[in-house]
């Protein structure tokens, strides 16, 4: 069974940057696409960024131009580089591949 573990969240001021990491317990991202999702209290989980098995990316309109999804297959790790962060980006961020979800990592953007 593949396990995913997110890290890199924390508290950052508006305009700052964070890089989230998603480490898989074994090689998977070279075969499967993966996505980053986020969820705030009282809201449904929403797709933030997606990368296919062949490296094609897609982004939610709200983060386009600010966030970048990538992966390092040799390290079994996917990333979400988050720049120009806004308070509305505050959420728990999750990575997902296939039917497997990570536990999530909290991102808080506040002055």
The model's pLDDT over 47-95, given as tens digits with 9 standing for 90+, comes to 999 999 899 999 999 999 999 999 998 899 999 999 999 999 999 999 9
Provide the pLDDT for residue 11: 98
Kindly tell me if the per-residue pLDDT of 29 is higher than 80.
no
Taking the C-alpha atoms of residue 52 and residue 14, their distance in angstroms, rounded to an integer, is 30
Taking the C-alpha atoms of residue 31 and residue 62, their distance in angstroms, rounded to an integer, is 28
Kind and range of the H or E run holding 67: strand 67-72
């Amino acid at each position: 069974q593949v396990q995913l573990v997110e890290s890199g969240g924390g508290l950052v001021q508006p305009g700052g940057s964070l890089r989230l990491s998603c480490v898989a317990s074994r090689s998977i991202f070279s075969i499967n696409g993966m996505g980053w999702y986020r969820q705030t209290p009282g809201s449904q989980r929403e797709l933030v960024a997606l990368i296919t098995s062949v490296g094609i990316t897609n982004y939610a309109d709200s983060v386009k131009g600010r966030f970048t999804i990538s992966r390092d297959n040799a390290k079994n790790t996917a990333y979400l580089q988050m720049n120009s962060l806004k308070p509305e980006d505050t959420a728990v961020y999750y990575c997902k591949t296939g039917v497997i979800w990570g536990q999530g990592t909290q991102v808080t953007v506040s002055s």
